[in-house]
Each structure stands twice: as C-alpha cells, then as structure tokens.
Amino acid sequence: MKGVVVGGTRSSVGKTVATLAILRALREQGHDVQPAKAGPDFIDPSHHEAVTGTPSRTLDLWLEGEAGLRRNYHRGEGDICVVEGVMGLYDGDCSSTAMVAEALDLPVVLVVDAKAGMESVAATAHGFREYAAQAGRDVTVAGVVAQRAHGGRHEQGIRDALPDGLDYFGRVPPRSSLEIPDRHLGLQMGEEAALDEAALDEAAESIRAGRIFDAAATPPRPDPTTVGERTDAKIAVARDAAFCFTYPATLERLRERADVSTFSPLAGDALPDCDGVYLPGGYPELHAQTLADSPTLDAIASRAADGTAVIGECGGLMALTESLTTTAGDTHAMAGVLPADVRMHDRYQALDHVELRATGETLTAGADERRRGHEFHYSSADVGDDARFAFDVVRGDGIDDGRDGLQEYRTLGTYCHLHPESGAFDAFVERANDS
C-alpha cells in the first residue's frame, strides 16, 4: 500500500478539508483508499470514514513506537493510504507529522493557505522543504495543495512560482460550505457534520489525484510480531454516540484475543454475557440524562460489584463515577462504581501525551510496567478520601495529584486513552479470562 502524508504549515490551515478532498478525488479515480491520522485524535478520523466508508487508522509514535506504527499502517487495506497530519508539519515533541512521515518514509503533501498570496505560497512551501535538509530531517515535501485558492490567474500564479521539485497537487476553493463546525472537544464528528457533497465534489475536482498517487511511496514492512494466544474471554464493548472514541486497532486486537460483542448504554441495551466490559471515551456529558436513566449503567454497576473486569477511558471513566455535572450546572447520577464526582468545564483541563507507571498489578498492566497514551478532557474529578489509584503519572496530568487509574472492585477508570500497541488490552483480556 503506497502512501502520502498531508501536512500543514500550521494548525487550522485546513488539513482536514484538504485531506477529505484528496480522499474523494482518489476514490473518484477508482483507487481503494485507506485513510489514517497522525496523532491520537478520534474526531478527524470520523470525517475520513464518512467520506471513504473505511475506518481511519491512528499512527502515533508515542502511543505505538516506530515498529508498532508501521505494523498499524500495514494492517490497513487499499492501494493508497492518505495520512492526515497534526498541527504544523514540524510541531510536536512526541509524534509530529514530520516524525510520522520519517518513520514511514512517506512524502508530504503540504497544505498552504493561499488566500491573498501566489508567489508567497511557493516561498512558504520552499522554506518547509529546505528546513528539513538544514535541520537534518529525513522529510520530503513533494508538493502543495493550495487552500482557499481561486482558479484562473490565482491558481496559475501559484503553479508558475513553484520551484523545481515541488509539484502542484491542486487547490481547495474558498467556500464557507467547506468548513466543519467546532464544538467543545474540537470539530463535530463526521456523522454529525458531513461536508456538503456538492462542495466536496467541487474541491475534489480541483485535486490532481493522479499526481498524488504517482508521488506516493511504499513504507518498509516491520518485522512480524506474535499476538498472544486466543482466550475464552468474552468482552463487551460500549459503542454509541456517548462512547464513540475507539481505535480500529483496539477492536481488532480484542477480536484476535477474545469473543467481542457490542452494546449501547444510550439505547438501554442489556449487558451481554461477558467476562469483561470496555467503556471507551466519547461524549457522556452530551447524553447525561439518558445515561442516568439507562438500565445498562445499573447492570454494569451490578456486574462490577460482582467482580467482573471493567475498564473505562475518559468518557468511560466519567460514566463509572458517582455523578456528572454539566457546564449548565445540572447533576446526573452515573453508575456509582468509582468514588468520584465529575464536573465539566468550559476549557479543557488536560491535553498531552501521557506515560503511566503501575504501582501494582491492575487490569491493564503489571506492577511497575509503563503504559503510554494520551489525555484530552474538559472535565475534572473530585475523588473520595478512600480513592485508590493504579498508576503514578510520569508524563501528563491524570485524575488527581499526579495519579491516574481510579480503582474499585475489579474496575479501572483512567483519563488516559490507550492504544493496543501498549499491551494494555492484551493484559485486560488475560485478566478478564482469569475471572
């Protein structure tokens, strides 16, 4: 599978819309396209899937390591992979877009804001390419997509100004219909705010998909690894609008190791027969009253008290606590398994790559083992005096005073989102299988 990385000159330059236009253009030419996202984001991938119908893969050096990142890439399917970057091309100390491009040995399609510029667009792209050589970075900027560029003289001026070695891959026209609405955790999800089809088609028509495909390269394959043996464990995974932040690789790993079924707490589904329950992150705060009324949370609380292995990440953690208070001041009862009360805020409370060290054996790690993940949340937790924590935070904020992994019974709740390459979900399946 060949691939390219779509990088930007800065955050909010329009990488997501440019990526969606490229995905649509390649599909229109008959290519089987695999979308991917550099960095730990869950929201941009939902837009990729809305356009392609294919789950987008997460490629993050901090979460997966270089070998794990390459394994995750090659688990995708298609003849070309389009990897949307994060922030500006060179920004980020853990897993920048440039670092992902280097690890995969993929060329970069640079998204440059062309509003009120022509030669300056070329100068900017030239600077980004030359910076890599001067900084000793193994990054190849193959060409540009001009964001907010008109056709005609504007487009031609950009093309004429590009120096040799920098290709012109097309443009995204300046259209208000090509803007994705924001909300408190970033952009709206793909199923909520799909771009106007006509506007996206227009943008795709201005993308030179054939040139991008020709510029794409094939990353080296990593050494194969052996996944642990399949177990007899049964794992129930919450999947609905309140619990929608799940990496495709996580579900793949769980299904390789266990019998997986899904359920919806929002719909009041009966909890499947299971040895373990996984509540991923999402938006419980947007559905707090429905969750408070859901018999599914009561069932989870009952199973947790009986010793079933339960893990909740971020939104899953919030649903497992005593209560959730929204920014409007409305308080709703949650499952009541973990001794904490959660409150939403207008500003984010944590945003970082995370490293945790287990203080003892827990559901996702052995004693002194480390797990890497990320945190991004607008809530804080007021924990009880008798709260027990599974992890010391080496990097990041955690739940309380440099600690993460609130524990009760065999239930574990973290603000940290984990990737299966960390080994966390293998440990969880094995612990659940022992129950």
Task: Name the amino acid, one letter, at 67.
Answer: A
Name residue 281's beta-bridge partners. Answer: 245
Q: Does residue 244 carry a catalytic annotation? A: no
Q: Are strands 338-344 and 350-358 parallel, antiparallel or unpaired?
A: unpaired
Structure token digits, residue 311: 């893990």
Choosing from 81, 274, 314, 416, the catalytic residue is 314
Residue that is written with structure tokens 């709703």 in the block: 332
Structure token digits, residue 366: 């052995």
Structure token digits, residue 316: 């899953």
Q: Is 158 in contact with 124 (CB distance < 8 Å)?
A: no
Q: Is 256 in contact with 227 (CB distance < 8 Å)?
A: yes
Q: What share of the chain is helix, strand, coil (3-state, %, to 5)?
A: 30, 30, 40
CA proximity to 263, closest of 278, 251, 282: 278
Q: Is 136 in contact with 208 (CB distance < 8 Å)?
A: no
- Vertex 266, ends 263 and 269: CA angle to 5°? 40
Structure token digits, residue 81: 């992979």
Q: Is 93 in contact with 127 (CB distance < 8 Å)?
A: no
Q: Is 13 in contact with 113 (CB distance < 8 Å)?
A: yes
Q: Is 404 in contact with 416 (CB distance < 8 Å)?
A: yes
Catalytic residues: 314
